């Protein structure tokens, strides 16, 4: 099942595992030959791009070309679903033939035309095609689009939910539970969310059965995102001899190192990333429930101005929604609302859940060489970063409060 040997001695790998091959032949001289062979699992990756809007549409060709620059043949498949404004959607595959620019070429597998990339059925169809047409031992997904984590459709002007399809004024959105419904359980070994504000406990809890690990950001991912590391790091994601946390955190660390190396006067020296072990999310919900003992997480018990937040409400919110943040550091909230003995239990579980994290000291807030800091982007300092965020219910957001209470996370915490 691992390898075969032909009559001429050619060894052919058949499947993952280890094999010891013994040979004995020759009419002129007798000799034993032992061959120790290890066949690594094969991993295929889907790069899902929902860029059918004016803002990130232009980033798509550059990201694809960066991946092609770093591509190495015969390590696994890279399928790319790209939905671009005025071009429609298509499914591409990087092949093993170099073009005139020195990039490996693209095969067009399917042309879909104008369709809704923010529809869960579209994502599900693409995943099923990858699995059926390109079977592998392991699968990963990189997901690139606008996003706003668990927030319901229409709550922010930009970013929005998980995928935006079309103009902002007429957008169609995929909400986080739709994203989860599109993915078969245990389909991916990792999902990399190159999308803003996705590292919230509501989304991660909803995704807990879909992937072994998820890389996400508590804050926004500042453009151009992972563009600058794709050429150097894309093949790291195909390394199946190393464990998944090492592979994905190594990819993430490379991005963070580039961002952190920027001068503090550069406003783009801004990043928050965390790698979440998904099968620990239920345990995190369990200890959170025990620690809270029915106490609600609202502005009466946790003053929002006292907690680390990760969004920029003055820049991103529709008129009428500009009074407060919606993404607060999970550990900081729990520290404020629970007794110290209970907080220690929650924090210990959080360390098992978030297996890697990194954050800059400031976010879209640059050092001017003195005080005050330049803050043209409504940036903020990052003094706490646990790797996950949570919502604090607020009177000004009745719609969000209701949506929060309908989430699977909330029900796991408060339902009997």
Cis status of the peptide bond prior to 159, with omega within 30 of 0:
yes
Give me 137's structure tokens: 């031992």
Confidence of residue 117 (pLDDT cuts 50, 70, 90): confident
Pairwise pLDDT comparison (312 vs 334), residue with the higher score: 334
Give me 357's structure tokens: 């994290």
Confidence of residue 27 (pLDDT cuts 50, 70, 90): low
Confidence of residue 280 (pLDDT cuts 50, 70, 90): very high
> Looking at 179-188, 251-260, 304-313, which range is the least confident one?
304-313
Q: What is the pTM of this model?
A: 0.88
3-class secondary structure, 180:
helix
Q: What is the mean pLDDT of the chain?
A: 88
Residues 6+ apart with CB under 8 A from 108: 90, 91, 92
What span, in angstroms and rounded, lies between the C-alpha atoms of 213 and 191? 7
**Residue 210: C-alpha distances to residues 187, 329, 405 (Å):** 6, 24, 22
pLDDT, tens only, 339-392: 999 999 999 999 999 999 999 999 998 877 766 677 778 889 999 999 999 999
Confidence of residue 154 (pLDDT cuts 50, 70, 90): low
pLDDT, tens only, 59-106: 678 899 999 999 998 889 999 999 877 778 999 999 999 988 888 999
Q: Compute, in degrees rounded to 10, the torsion defined by CA atoms 92, 96, 97, 100.
A: 80
Main-chain dihedrals φ then ψ at residue 67, nearest 5 degrees: -65, -45
**Residue 90: C-alpha distances to residues 78, 125, 185 (Å):** 14, 12, 25
Contact 164, 52 (CB under 8 A): yes
Pairwise pLDDT comparison (156 vs 191), residue with the higher score: 191
pLDDT, tens only, 234-254: 999 999 989 999 999 999 999
Is the predicted pLDDT of residue 161 greater than 50, yes or no? Answer: no
What span, in angstroms and rounded, lies between the C-alpha atoms of 369 and 94? 46
Residue that is written with structure tokens 């280890």 in the block: 18
Pairwise pLDDT comparison (183 vs 374), residue with the higher score: 183
Q: Which conformational region is residue 168 in: left (phi greater than 0), alpha (psi within -120 to 50 degrees), or beta?
A: alpha
b/e code 200-225 from CB counts within 10 Å (16+ = b) = bbbbbbbbbbbbbbbbbbbbbbbeeb
Of 54, 45, 47, the closest CA to residue 80 belongs to: 47
3-class secondary structure, 80:
strand
What span, in angstroms and rounded, lies between the C-alpha atoms of 276 and 353? 6
What span, in angstroms and rounded, lies between the C-alpha atoms of 322 and 246? 39
Contact 81, 88 (CB under 8 A): no
Beta-ladder partners of 366: 374
Of 77, 179, 74, 75, the closest CA to residue 119 belongs to: 179
User: Looking at residue 65, what is its pLDDT?
Assistant: 92
User: Looking at residue 159, what is its pLDDT?
Assistant: 33
What span, in angstroms and rounded, lies between the C-alpha atoms of 170 and 118? 13
User: Looking at residue 23, what is its pLDDT?
Assistant: 65
């Amino acid at each position: 099942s691992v390898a075969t040997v032909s009559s001429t001695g050619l060894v052919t790998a058949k499947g993952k595992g280890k094999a010891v091959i013994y040979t004995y032949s020759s009419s002129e001289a007798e000799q034993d030959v032992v061959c120790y062979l290890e066949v690594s699992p094969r991993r295929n990756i889907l790069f899902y791009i929902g860029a059918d809007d004016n803002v990130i549409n232009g980033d798509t060709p550059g990201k694809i070309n960066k991946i092609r620059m770093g591509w190495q043949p015969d390590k696994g498949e890279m399928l790319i679903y790209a939905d671009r404004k005025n071009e429609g959607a298509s499914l591409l595959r990087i092949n093993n033939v170099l073009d005139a620019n020195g990039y490996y070429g693209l095969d067009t597998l399917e042309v879909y035309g104008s369709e809704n990339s923010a529809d869960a059925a579209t994502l599900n169809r693409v995943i099923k095609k990858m699995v059926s047409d390109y079977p592998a031992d392991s699968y990963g997904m990189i997901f690139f689009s606008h996003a706003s984590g668990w927030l319901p459709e229409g709550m922010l002007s930009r970013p929005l939910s998980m995928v935006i399809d079309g103009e902002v004024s007429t957008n169609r959105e995929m909400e986080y539970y739709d994203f989860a419904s599109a993915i078969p359980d245990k389909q991916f070994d990792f999902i990399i969310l190159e999308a803003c504000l996705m590292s919230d406990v509501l989304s991660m809890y909803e995704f807990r059965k879909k992937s072994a690990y998820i890389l996400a950001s508590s804050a926004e991912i500042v453009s151009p995102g992972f563009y600058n590391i794709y050429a150097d790091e894309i093949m790291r994601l195909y390394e199946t001899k190393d464990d998944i946390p090492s592979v994905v955190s190594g990819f993430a660390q490379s991005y963070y190192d580039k961002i952190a190396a920027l001068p503090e006067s550069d406003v783009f020296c801004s990043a928050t990333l965390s790698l979440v072990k998904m099968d620990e999310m239920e345990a995190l919900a369990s200890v959170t429930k025990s620690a809270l003992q029915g106490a609600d997480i609202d502005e009466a018990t946790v003053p929002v101005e006292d907690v680390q937040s990760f969004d920029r409400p003055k820049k991103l919110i529709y008129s009428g929604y500009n009074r407060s943040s919606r993404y607060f550091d999970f550990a900081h909230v729990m520290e404020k609302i629970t007794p110290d003995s209970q907080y220690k239990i929650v924090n210990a579980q959080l360390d098992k859940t978030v297996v890697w994290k990194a954050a800059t000291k400031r976010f879209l807030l640059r050092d001017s060489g003195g005080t005050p800091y330049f803050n043209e982007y409504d940036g903020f300092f990052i003094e706490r970063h646990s790797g996950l965020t949570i919502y604090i219910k607020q009177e000004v957001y009745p719609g969000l409060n209701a949506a929060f209470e309908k989430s699977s996370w909330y029900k796991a915490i408060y339902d009997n």
